[in-house]
Structure 1
Amino acid sequence: MANDTRTRMIEATALLIGQRGYHGTSLNDILSASGAPRGSLYFHFPGGKDQLVIEVTRDSIAKVTERLGEDLAAETSPAVAVHHIYQSVARMLEDNEFTLGCPIAPVVLDSPANVPELAELCRSAFEQWIGLLRQAFVRAGVPERRAHALALLVESSLEGLMVIARATRDRAPLLAVADEVAALVESAVLAGEARQRAEAAV
């Protein structure tokens, strides 16, 4: 029962933070949504709301990181992998009826400067996600500098498109940009391969 209560609080907090952000989610909201008694919050999370939000954010980041790594490893072509990622995000938004997007974006936008551990988690998350994309592009032969720029482009476009999709309640923008970004990645890979062949021939 104790674990069930803890799980309900974590799930409720993840949902509320995703919808309302850090400042828009109160302890009363969490308790009401989870059906947990007030005393159980500090039993499971002695640090209160901040500890709970940090744990939820860390868990959400780990899930996204794992899924991104799997998507990039599952395809031999990074362009195909990137296209699949955009499609997956589009399906996720449609499945949750455009109520949830990136799990850390609401936290970043709320800028809870009084919780430095939370800010560091979000900074590190973007670093990890951009790094995974960059590594995939480099492995495919894209020069490091361009691979980093492409990784930033993919991550930033996904973040922006999730906001647009939620505002318009339409996944079409994600699918449209998926084609363009995948084509750009493919072009970078082909250019990298051509450069490597030219260097090998010298």
Structure 2
Amino acid sequence: MATDTRTRMIEATALLLRRRGYHGTSLNDILSASGAPRGSLYFHFPGGKDQLVIEVTRDSVAGVTERLDAALAAEHDPAVAVHHIYQSVARMLEENEFSLGCPIAPVVLDAPNDVPGLAEICRAAFEQWIGLLREAFMRAGVPERRAHALALLVESSLEGLMVIARATRDRAPLQAVADEVAALIEAAVLAGEVRQRADATV
């Protein structure tokens, strides 16, 4: 039962953070949503709300990282992989009725510097996600500088498009940008292949 209570608190906090951010999520909200008794918070999380939020955010980041890594590894062509990622995000938004987007965006927008460790988790998350994209592009032959710029483009467009899709309750913007971004990546990969062939003949 204790484990169930802890799990409920983690799951409830994850949803509340995605909807309201750090400051918009109170201890009463967490206890009410999880159905946990008040004393259980400090029993499972002696550091209180901050410890709980840090653990939840770390778990959320790990989940996104795992899915992104798997999506990129599943396709030899990074343009196809990225297109699938946009489609996956669109499906996620539809399934939650456009109520939930990136798990850490609300935290970032809600002054994570107020909580020691939380800002670092968020910073490292974006660094890791951008790094996974960059490495996938480089494996396909895209030069490092271009690969990094494309990775930034993909990550920033996904973050912005989740906001737009939630506001419009429409996945169409994700689909439109997915096609354009995939075309850019495909062109970058082709240019890298041409460059490599030219270098090999020198």
- TM-score band (shorter)? over 0.9
Aligned position for 2:74: 74
Structure 1 range deviating more: 89-98 or 109-118: 109-118
| TM-superposed deviation, 1:114 | 2.1
Amino acid at match of 2:97: E
- Counterpart CA distance in 2 for 1:12 and 1:72 is 30
- Counterpart CA distance in 1 for 2:68 and 2:134 is 12
Aligned position for 1:96: 96
- Counterpart CA distance in 1 for 2:15 and 2:96 is 11
Q: How does 1:110-129 map to 2 (within 5 A)?
A: 110-129=110-129
Deviations 1:163-201 (A, max 9, x none): 000111111100110000000000000000000000001
- Counterpart CA distance in 1 for 2:123 and 2:111 is 12
Amino acid at match of 1:30: I
Aligned position for 2:183: 183
Identity, % of aligned pairs? Answer: 87
TM-score relative to the length of structure 1: 0.99
| TM-superposed deviation, 1:47 | 0.5
- Counterpart CA distance in 2 for 1:56 and 1:169 is 27
- Counterpart CA distance in 2 for 1:53 and 1:197 is 50
Amino acid at match of 1:122: C
Runs of 4+ in 1 over 6 A off after TM superposition: none
- Counterpart CA distance in 2 for 1:94 and 1:33 is 23
Amino acid at match of 1:112: P
Aligned position for 1:54: 54
- Counterpart CA distance in 2 for 1:138 and 1:144 is 6
Amino acid at match of 2:21: G
Deviations 1:136-164 (A, max 9, x none): 00000000000000000000000000000
- Counterpart CA distance in 2 for 1:95 and 1:114 is 32
Aligned position for 2:63: 63
Aligned residue pairs total 202
Aligned position for 1:200: 200
Unaligned runs of 5+ in 2: none
| TM-superposed deviation, 1:113 | 1.8
Deviations 1:105-126 (A, max 9, x none): 0000001322130000000000
- Counterpart CA distance in 2 for 1:191 and 1:63 is 33
Aligned position for 2:136: 136
- Counterpart CA distance in 1 for 2:5 and 2:97 is 26
Find the residue that maps to 2:113 and give its secondary structure.
Answer: coil
Query: What CA RMSD, in Å, does the superposition of the two structures yield over aligned residues?
Result: 0.5
- Counterpart CA distance in 2 for 1:114 and 1:168 is 31
